[in-house]
Amino acid sequence: MNLLLIRHAQSTNNLLYAQTGGSEGRSADPPLTPLGHEQARALADFAHTDAALRGLTHLYCSLTTRAVQTAAPLAAALGLPVQGLAHAHETQGLFLRDEAGVPQPVPGRTHADLLGDNPALLWPADLAAQDAWAGGFEPEDHAAYLTRAGRVLGELRAAHGPQDTVGLVTHGHFTQFLLRELISHGTAFFRVANTSTTLLTLPGPHDPPEFGPLVGWVNRHDHLSPEQVTV
C-alpha cells in the first residue's frame, strides 16, 4: 500500500501563532484561512498532473473542520469520496483552556454540518449518523498518541492492499507519531508545511519481515509558490 500523508492547509490557529507566537484567542476547531483555502485549491490543481496525487485510489481525513475543508477540493478534482476517520485528529483533540489554563474538551461537528464544507465526506461507520463527533479530547501523552497512530495505520492496512494508494489528510503533530510508528525514528521531528505531502510505501504481507516502509519523500510542497508556504 502506498500511503500519502497530507497536512491540512493553514488554519486560523496556525495564522494566530505565526502572528503572535502564542495561542491566546485560539479556536477549538479552527477553519481554514483564505490562504489556507488557496493552498487546498493549489493541491487539488496539482492532482491533475502529479502522478502520486492523480494515483490516489482512496481518500481519508480527520473530522476536524480544517482537515475536512482541505480534503474538499482534492476530492472534487479526483472524483473520490472522503472517508472520515474519527481517530486521525491532532494530538489532544478539540479543547479550550479554562480560566485556570486547564484544557477542557469541546465536541466536534455533525456529519450534516460538515457536509456544508465537504459534500464528499462519508461518516465513520462507528459513529451515529445524527451525532456530533466527540472531538477526540485526550491528555497530553506521547505514548497514547503513538498508540492511536498505530490504530489508524492498522485500520488502513486492514482495509487496503498493495494495489491501493491511500491519501490521509491529517495534522502536523500527529503526523510525527504516524511516522514514528512507521519508521521508528525516535524523537526526531519532521517539519511538514501546510498541505505538504509525505509518501511511504508500506511492505505487504508477503514481504520479508525485515522490510520496512520505503520513504518516497517528506514535506513535499512544490504545488505552492514560496509566498504560499506556511507551517
> Does residue 120 lie within any of the structural domains?
yes
In a domain, 228, yes or no: no
The beta strands (E) that lie in 52-185 are given as: 58-62, 82-85, 95-97, 103-105, 121-122, 165-170
Q: What total number of domains does the chain contain?
A: 1
User: Tens-of-pLDDT digits for all 231 residues of the chain?
Assistant: 999 999 999 999 999 999 999 999 999 999 999 999 999 999 999 999 999 999 999 999 999 999 999 999 999 999 999 999 999 999 999 999 999 999 999 999 999 999 999 999 999 999 999 999 999 999 999 999 999 999 999 999 999 999 999 999 999 999 999 999 999 888 999 999 999 999 999 998 788 888 899 999 999 999 999 999 999
User: Given this model, what pLDDT does residue 171 score?
Assistant: 99
Task: Look at residue 208 in the predicted model and tell me its pLDDT.
Answer: 87
Extended beta strands in the chain, E state: 2-7, 58-62, 82-85, 95-97, 103-105, 121-122, 165-170, 197-201, 214-220
Instruction: Please give the single-letter amino acid code of residue 127.
Output: L
156 found inside a domain: yes
Phi, psi dihedral angles at 184 (to 5 degrees): 50, 50
Q: What is the grid cell recorded at 204? A: 505487504
Q: Are 108 and 94 in contact (CB under 8 A)?
A: yes
Residue 155 falls inside a structural domain: yes
Buried b (16+ CB within 10 A) or exposed e, 146-183: eebbeebbeebeeebeeeebbbbbbbbebbbbbbbbbe
Q: Does residue 85 sit within a domain?
A: yes
First-to-last C-alpha distance (Å) of the chain = 28
pTM of the predicted model, to two decimals?
Answer: 0.97
pLDDT of residue 185: 85
Contact 182, 153 (CB under 8 A): yes
Domain that holds residue 138: 2-20+27-202+211-222
Whichever domain contains 37, its CATH number is 3.40.50.1240
For residues 204 and 178, the answer to whether their CB atoms sit within 8 Å is no
Specify the pLDDT at position 211.
87
Q: How far is CA 69 from the centre of its chain?
A: 11
How far is residue 155 from each of residues 29, 148, 151, 158, 206, measured CA to CA in Å? 25, 11, 6, 5, 19
Domain annotation covers residue 180? yes
- Decide if 229 is inside a domain: no
Question: For residue 227, is it within any domain?
Answer: no
Task: Please provide the size of the chain in residues.
Answer: 231
